[in-house]
Each structure stands twice: as structure tokens, then as C-alpha cells.
Amino acid sequence: MSAGELLPGTPAPMHVWDGARGVRLAADTWGDPLDPLVILQHGGGQTRHAWKHTGQQLGASGYYAVSFDARGHGDSTWAPDSDYTEDAMVEDLLCVVSAVGGTRPVLIGASLGGITSMIAAGEKHLDARALVIVDVAPRVESHGVERIHRFMTGRPDGFRSLDEVADAISAYQPHRPRPASLDGLAKNLRVGADGRYHWHWDPRFRPDLRDPLALEPRLSQCVRALTAPTLLVRGAKSDVLNAASVEHFVALCPHAQTIDVAGAAHMVAADQNDLFGDAMRGFLAHALGRA
């Protein structure tokens, strides 16, 4: 099974590191490697580019920010054994931390990346200095998760044109204006042997088989075990995380701080990058004693 050909204009990764179980991980970095390490993990169906502005802001603020494509996503290779489990994602995270020679990283994770962060820190696979969990928690809204699944699996035959791709994205994210230029879509697509445009992710990454309810007991135990400073960020327009889910998170982790980002849906940083960035950097400054 082939990932397809890259489109012109697709940015090359700054780094490619060994992940777990034969996977190669593409990554970008910003800032000084001697500064506090911050690992940025994107959501399912996203790429490292989702964190570009955040990474630049962190690098300019005295952190060493690392954003990498999850296995089967973006410019990282597809898993030879089709293993896209949470445990495989945690192993990849540990490989990235090792590749940069880091210790006690800050973990910032959105959706799938947030799940990986909760497990990695909560099950003590690594010693996180702080965590920022974005629009995910042990309890999530099933209808919101199902909408994501429908989008990711809804066009297995791909698209005839970039206009069709833009239409699909607009239908999925009606709160955002349709982009005037389609050039930015290049990094999210590949051209298959059939000449059609396909999403960048491995179709064997089956989000429809990832039952969020089945994860709740494990994630609840992980959140209960968190000891590092923790910030839970929710998009005020999110259909994945509601107020009750946030309350449940805080009941499990009483020291956690929470914030709702106005005007943002599930993809908080992409919807309101400046608001998200300000809140996150303020939290980290206090959590790391840099205020």
C-alpha cells in the first residue's frame, strides 16, 4: 500500500527520526535545544503543520518546541504492521524525546495527541513537567467523535480536484471561511496512482474502530494519576468536549486548570491561534516558574 506522491509546495520536514516498530517520524523544531523542551502532538487526521504557529511562538518565547507527524500521518511513514494503537503512539513519543536528548518535557496534545499525552504521563512512561490537553478528556461526546470519523472515512476513493477537497473541508468546518487560495491544501494531500487526491493519512488508521467509550476507564485512571501542572483547554464551540466532561476531568485531577477558548471548535489552535497561544504561554510561564 502506497502513501502516494507529494504535491508541489509540500514543506519538507526539518528532521526525520526513528520511531517505534520500524516507523520513521517527520518533525519540525523551533527555538534553542538548550531551552525547556515542549512536545506538540496533533490530532487524528492532522499533521505537524497544525502546530506551526504555536511552535514558532514557543520558540520565540524561550522554549524548544518539537512538532512531529504521528505514525501514518503527514510525512511520517505508515506502520508496517498497521499498528496505530495508543501504546504505539506512546512509544513513538518516547522515541522523539530520546531523539532530541530531552528530559522532563512539557506535553501539549490535541485530541489524539492529548490521549497520547494523558497515557504517557499518567502511566509514568515519562516524567512530564507540565501538560496542556486540548479538547479531549476521558469522557467525550460520541456524536462529535462520530462526526470526525465520518469525515476521515467518507471519501475512500479520493477527490477529483482541489476544489472538491476545499468543499469537503468547508462542509466539515462551516464556522471557518472557505480559503481564497487552495495552495495550503498541498501539505494535507497525496496524489494516488489513480490520479486522484487522497488525504495524507494511512487509510488503515481506522478512527471508526477507536471507541472513545472503551478508553474512558484507562484515561480516567491516567488523569487521576497526573501530578504535573495540567491545563485542559476546551473550544467553546466544541462538539467533542462539553462542560460536564470538563467537570469530570477536574474531579479526577483537582489541581488541573481549565479554560474555554471563545470562537473555537474542536481544532482550538487552528480556530483561535492567538487566544490559545496566549493562554498556553501564560500557563507554562507559571507552571515552569518563568513568570
Residue 47, pLDDT > 50, answer: yes
CATH of the domain at 259: 3.40.50.1820
Q: What's the chain's average pLDDT?
A: 91
Cα(1)–Cα(148) distance, integer angstroms: 24
What pLDDT sits at residue 210? 59
Q: What is the rounded average pLDDT of the residues 262-286? A: 81
Residue 204, in any domain of the structure: no
Establish if 162 belongs to a structural domain.
yes
Among the listed residues 278, 239, 210, the one whose alpha carbon sits nearest the alpha carbon of residue 136: 239
Query: Using one digit for the tens of pLDDT, what is the confidence trace for 98-121?
Result: 999 988 999 999 999 999 999 999
Do 74 and 103 belong to one domain?
Answer: yes
206 assigned to some structural domain: no
Helix (H) or strand (E) holding 37: strand 37-41
Q: What is the predicted pLDDT for the residue at 266? A: 73
Same domain membership, residue 272 and residue 177: no
**What pLDDT, on a 0 to 100 scale, did the predictor assign at position 23?**
97
Judgement on whether residues 44 and 164 belong to the same structural domain of the protein = no
Number of domains in the chain: 2
Residue 214 CA: distances (Å) to CA of 52, 91, 142, 147, 158: 32, 21, 11, 18, 30
Q: Position of cell 487560495? A: 181
Range of the domain at 174: 144-199
pLDDT digits 0-9 by tens, 84-93: 999 999 999 9
CB 287: neighbour CB atoms within 10 A?
19
150 and 70 co-located in one domain = no
